[in-house]
Each structure stands twice: as C-alpha cells, then as structure tokens.
Amino acid sequence: MKDATITQRTPKLALGPVLYYWPRETLLAFYRQMSTTPVDIIYLGETVCSKRRSLNTDDWLELAEQLTAEGKDVVLSTMVLLEAESELKTLRRLCDNGRFTVEANDMGAVRLLSGKTPFVLGTGINIYNDRTLRFLAGLGAHRWIMPVELSRTTLACIQTQRPAGMETEIFAYGRLPLAYSARCFTARHHNLPKDNCQYRCLNDPEGLTLSTREGQAFLAINGIQTQSAQTYNLLPELAELQALGVDVLRISPQAEGTERVVAAFADCLQGVREPAAAAAALNAALPQGACDGYWQGQPGLQQVAALG
C-alpha cells in the first residue's frame, strides 16, 4: 500500500459524541443549536453507558437524518465497553444501519464493520504506530483518531507512514477520555450499586471533579469513564496541526459554551482571529484550567504552551 504524503490543508471541524448523561430535552436543544454552527461532522450516540437512555437508537437515527438534512456529515458512534447482550444487539444495529458512517470504539465493532463499509476508528481503539493503522486500513477504516495520550512527535512519525486515503482526526478540545472500567465510579461515590445507580450521572452534566490530597483538580469521574479534570485545548497549535496534514479537529461537547468553542476554532481556521489569543479567552472560562501536556510530550495535566 502506498504511503500518503503530508499535505497541508484546512481541517474540518467535528463535534464528538456527548460523553455525559444529559436529559432528553437538553440533548435535543443542544443539537438544534449545533446544527446552526460551522461544524462539518457530528458524531452521535451513547459511548459510555447503555443505561443512559435519554435517546434510544431510533431517536439517534432520527436525529441523524435531521442533521444530515441541515448539511452535516453524521457519524454514529458505538460504545467503548460492552458488557451485555442488549448492548451487542444495539452495536449490530448501528453497524448494519446501511446509511451512516460508524465510529468503531472497540474491536467488536471493527469486526462487524470489516469488509462491509468504510468506518472511523474512534478514541476507544488504541493505535500507536503505522503498522496497526495499516492493518486496520486493510479492514476498511478510512479515518483514525489519534489516542489522546500521544504527542506531536508520534503523530509526525505516523503521518509520514499512514496508508494512502487514511484521514487523521485529532481530539483538539475538551476533557480527555482517559480510561473505562466495568465499575461505575459515580455510583460508588454515592454508595450505590452499579445496577441500582439511580441515574445519578444526570446530576453531573460535566462529571464529578476528583482532586488530590493537596487540593489540585486531577480527574473527572463520569460513570464508568475517567476524564481529565483540565480541558485539553490545542487551538494554539493550529498552524502545526495543519502543517502535519491533520484532516479533522474534534471538539468534545461541554455543558456550557460549546458554541463559543466552535466559533473560536472556525474563526482561527478562517484567519479572523489569532489562535493563541482565542485559546486564552476560552481558557479563562474553564473552572479547572486547560492542559496540553500530552501533545507536548509532557505529563498530561500540564499546560506547556504560553498563551497571549
């Protein structure tokens, strides 16, 4: 397979799946708002916990049709950790939908999609070198999302060796999805069993912040998912991302201000605003601050780039 050359381009903007448990009306209102923003790609679906049923599969498919009619490129996202037959049935239905591209977040989804239709490799798939990427491209993957813990140096190496036709997407803004567990951290926090969690995640639209004994915000717990407490922000790195041939920049939805984030990225891509200044304005509104450590090859919670 011929390697792709690095071509500088203007990346598309993608809105990742909502990682939190929001009420039905909140979700629908959010996507109505997002349909009017300059995002090109919208990922839809529940990726964290199947007990989060504000929208069912039919609802997600209907929403996908509505957003497609608004001119958005819709991708259906699958769950990262499957533990029940009902979850497998939902996975099969998504993979067999016959209309929308699917983001595979575990190897079970990759198996179901392999050889049938082009698909996206989500953050739940660990890809740490070009050999893995070549293998998955051979199964039908056409876009991959670099694991959030990898650095600019690793990306540069993979980009020079990525298979021809493979698009690269970078998680560019949001709380980092770090890990998943069969145990539910939110239920445990409330002294509840996972099977009787009382849907407590509904009370935490951006998860629960976990601090160190010294009082530093460290992680956020979101059901079975562990996130960074700080918000990852690669807007200041926009020029380098373009130079590395990144095709898509992902913005992860937050409970407040997602439209401002989308607008800031879009303005910077169009040359209307300066990335460092726009990033500084976004960071000023973050309760736990920003980080870019992983990108810089440093501890993830650090903010390395100086912002103007």
Q: State pLDDT tens for residues 129-161.
A: 999 999 999 999 999 999 999 999 999 999 999
- What is the length of the chain? 308
Which is it for strands 217-222 and 225-233: parallel, antiparallel or unpaired? antiparallel
What domains sit in the chain, N to C, each tagged with a CATH number? 12-175+231-296 (3.20.20.70)
What percentage of residues in the chain have a pLDDT greater than 90? 95
* Amino acid letter, 80: V
pLDDT at 189 over 60: yes
CA distance 124 to 142: 16
pLDDT at 9: 80
Compute the mean pLDDT over every residue in the chain, rounded to the nearest whole number. Answer: 96
pLDDT at 207: 96
Under DSSP, is residue 79 helix (H, G, I), strand (E, B) or coil? coil
Write out the H or E segment, with its range, that includes residue 220: strand 217-222
pLDDT band at 1 (very low <50, low <70, confident <90, very high): very low
User: What's the pTM?
Assistant: 0.96
pLDDT at 62: 98
pLDDT at 308 over 60: no
The mean-pLDDT minimum among 4-18, 109-123, 132-146 falls in 4-18
Token pair belonging to 253: 């939805």
Span 197-214, average pLDDT: 96
Token pair belonging to 114: 């392999």
pLDDT at 4 over 70: no
Which is it for strands 101-104 and 73-77: parallel, antiparallel or unpaired? parallel
The answer for residues whose C-beta is within 8 angstroms of residue 188's C-beta and 6 or more apart is none
Write out the H or E segment, with its range, that includes residue 209: strand 208-211
pLDDT at 8: 73
pLDDT band at 5 (very low <50, low <70, confident <90, very high): low
